[in-house]
Chains A and B, each alone.
Chain A
Amino acid sequence: MRRIGLLLVVSSALWMAACGSSGNGSGSSSITSVTVSCSPSTIIFGQTSQCSATVIGTGNFSSGVTWTASAGTISASGLFTPPSGGATTLQVTITATSTQDTSKSGTATVTVNPAQQVNNVQPIVVDAGPAPQSFFTVNQAFTSVTVCLPNSSTCQTIDHVLVDTGSSGLRLLSSAGGGELTLALPQANDSGGNPLYECEVFLDGYIWGSVSTADITVAGEKASSANVHVVIPASASPAPPGSCVSQNPPGGNGNEGNTLMAFGANGILGVGLFQQDCGLACTSQNQLLPDVYYDCPASGCNPTYVTLAQQVPNPVVMFATDNNGVLVQLPAVPNGGSADVQGSLIFGIGTQSNNGLGSTTVYDVPDSGNNAGNFTTIFPPNGISYPASFLDSGSNGLFFLNSSVPGVPATCSDQNSWYCPTTSPDNLSAQNQGTNMSSPVSVSFSIENADMLFNNNNGANTAFSTLGGPDCSVGGSNCAFDWGLSFFYGRNVFTAIENMSTPGGTGPYVAY
């Protein structure tokens, strides 16, 4: 491509040399015509085309031209670069105008096609959870993921993997922990050649297991030789170190890798805002070694620094295309809930015809600091600001303030995880504001009585747009709005990954 362009430039320059120099000198010179050709005349987005002009005239005429393009850019030497993105074919008119006589110009058309597109749509379902089970999940969006031994056709497809925009990285529950994964993925080692393990802490518990390597396939997208967290129970070896265990909060679930019921899924597909699960804080840039990655020689496990490349990555950034974020698309769910709702996890933002931002609003979020990934929710409208609020498909309700705060629904008398408003539905509104916005945007939502929801339709419903619960017992700025899966129904919710370019700007941001 580049070599062909260079040859055309050379031939164009030779022609110009043969036909006289620029400068209009004599009054008897005139321009007869300008013709343009571009090679190649058909390109795909991201490629360039070299255009050249042939100027025919009389006398000592000038062969100089100025270039314009109806889209994209073109250099003074005629090198055309199409605009970025592009989900549909674009016809671009290239014009060369004589500098001596601007009434004389010529045009050519360059066709810019979308890159050959892969299937970027992965089905998701909100159902009662993985089998075999003695429990019942609500508001958990599941998909399936195929993992293979690197560079091999030895693969396993894992169903009921939670789609989680609130974390980054693929984590699979091993069969030892009651999960589906039986494929023995190769262990990743730390810089000293010892097995690398990880303690991943969630808000309500932790998981522990090896960092292993797999080729990950979801829809038509593939992440080759990606690190994956293989989650093992405490009964397996090595056991989770004390410094991992003691990050479990009081009242938390403890080791969620012990059973399928505790994990609630066969895996977690973290397609969140960040390129790795930990980032710079787990590299030697951080003076204080965190209890996240562990090196595990036979003598035992101890925390260790890792490079960014040694961490568990968000698999989306390792895709060849559609790698700047995700769109979670779920149908609207009426009050009372629905059974077995189906939707899509769509990879890429503005990379294909099915993942454009459309009329959604972009909410930029900080990439680092204490509020990494958060935006501000204001409740009631024009009231108190909660700057640690966030969108998270992995949370299974709308979790916000304590029932003692005016305007917040009552907590259920039989289970303090959920709201049971006395008037159901309780129609509420709040405002959300990203760091890019000078004023907040209103958002309406409803909360219904959870006891009623869980008993509705003989208890068969699994998807609830009106399910919520209390977040906070103290009040004040410690509290946040956790906009969980309830919020996602009937919306297009985008999660843009840090430092990745999109038509809505560079991530991280959320958009809906």
Chain B
Amino acid sequence: MPFPARAVLGDSAASVLTDQARMKGTLRSVDRGTYVMHEITTTTGAVREFVSPGGAVFGVAWEGQFPPNFQQLLGPYYQQSQQASASQQPRARRAPIGIETPGLVFQQTGHARSFHGVAYIPQLMPNGVQASDIR
């Protein structure tokens, strides 16, 4: 499992150390005042967990050779975001994915061997944090 199984978006931060051990990665934590960023680096990529002063994981960013296990990463937000939009227009294929709802913002870009993405919950974002801080 290349990316976190436990630091579910919206969950508490208690699992960061568990993630580090399971991912066999190195942990770096940076206190940025309005939030703490925990970065776990492995041989094939990095995942960054953004934790509010209240201890909630409000955002996750990832980059590396493989995408994360989204079902585990997004928890209950995964199912609610699965409704694909039906359209009469020709499909965008191998295209980046973007979702912007009041409950969840998600985006992923890249190609085989290089995936980059972020997911966050707008309501859980501490005051003073910009969406572009999550990366």
Other-chain contact of B107, A253, A392, A474 (Cβ < 8 Å): A474
B92 with A397: CB separation less than 8 A: yes
A246 with B89: CB separation less than 8 A: no
Contacts of B90 in A (CB 8 A): 136-138, 454
B70 with A246: CB separation less than 8 A: yes
B135 with A286: CB separation less than 8 A: no
Contacts A203-B95, A246-B71, A472-B98 given; indicate if A417 touches B89 (C-beta within 8 A).
Answer: yes
A374 with B92: CB separation less than 8 A: no
The answer, yes or no, to whether A381 is at the interface (CB within 8 Å) is no
The answer, yes or no, to whether B111 is at the interface (CB within 8 Å) is yes
**Can you list, as one digit per residue, whether each of B40-68 has a CB less than 8 Å from chain A (1) or not (0)?**
00111110000000000000010111111
A372 with B82: CB separation less than 8 A: no
The answer, yes or no, to whether A321 is at the interface (CB within 8 Å) is no
Q: Chain A interface: which size bin?
A: 35 or more
Interface residues of A in 328-379 (CB under 8 A from B): 370-374
Q: Which residue of B lies closest to A462 (CB)?
A: B90
Between B44, B72, B92, the greatest number of chain A beta carbons within 10 A of the residue's beta carbon is seen for B92
**Can you list, as one digit per residue, whether each of A161-178 has a CB less than 8 Å from chain B (1) or not (0)?**
000101110000000000
B44 with A288: CB separation less than 8 A: yes
A286 with B44: CB separation less than 8 A: yes
Contacts of A138 in B (CB 8 A): 90
* Segment with Cβ contacts to A, from B10-18, B31-39, B114-122: B114-122
The answer, yes or no, to whether A251 is at the interface (CB within 8 Å) is yes
**Can you list, as one digit per residue, whether each of B96-110 has a CB less than 8 Å from chain A (1) or not (0)?**
111110001111111
A370 with B64: CB separation less than 8 A: yes
**Given the complex of chains A and B, what is the CA–CA distance between A234 and B117 in angstroms?**
26
A390 with B1: CB separation less than 8 A: no
Shortest Cβ distance from residue A231 to the other chain B in the assembled complex, whole angstroms:
15
Other-chain contact of A417, B2, B71, B92 (Cβ < 8 Å): B92
B89 with A414: CB separation less than 8 A: yes
Contacts of B98 in A (CB 8 A): 251, 402, 416, 470-473
**Given the complex of chains A and B, what is the CA–CA distance between A136 and B89 in angstroms?**
9
B107 with A478: CB separation less than 8 A: yes
Other-chain contact of A291, B1, B23, B46, B92 (Cβ < 8 Å): B1
Between B78, B89, B96, B112, the greatest number of chain A beta carbons within 10 A of the residue's beta carbon is seen for B112
The answer, yes or no, to whether A202 is at the interface (CB within 8 Å) is yes
Contacts of A417 in B (CB 8 A): 87, 89, 91-92, 95
A372 with B114: CB separation less than 8 A: yes
The answer, yes or no, to whether B8 is at the interface (CB within 8 Å) is no
Closest 3 CB pairs of A and B: A250-B81, A246-B71, A476-B132
List chain B positions with a Cβ less than 8 A from chain A: 1-2, 23-24, 42-46, 61, 63-72, 74, 77-78, 81-82, 84-85, 87, 89-100, 104-119, 131-132, 134-135
List chain A positions with a Cβ less than 8 A from chain B: 135-138, 140, 164, 166-168, 200-204, 242-243, 245-253, 264, 270, 272, 274, 277, 279, 281, 286-288, 290-292, 370-374, 388, 390, 392, 394-397, 399, 402, 412, 414-418, 450-451, 454, 469-480, 482, 484
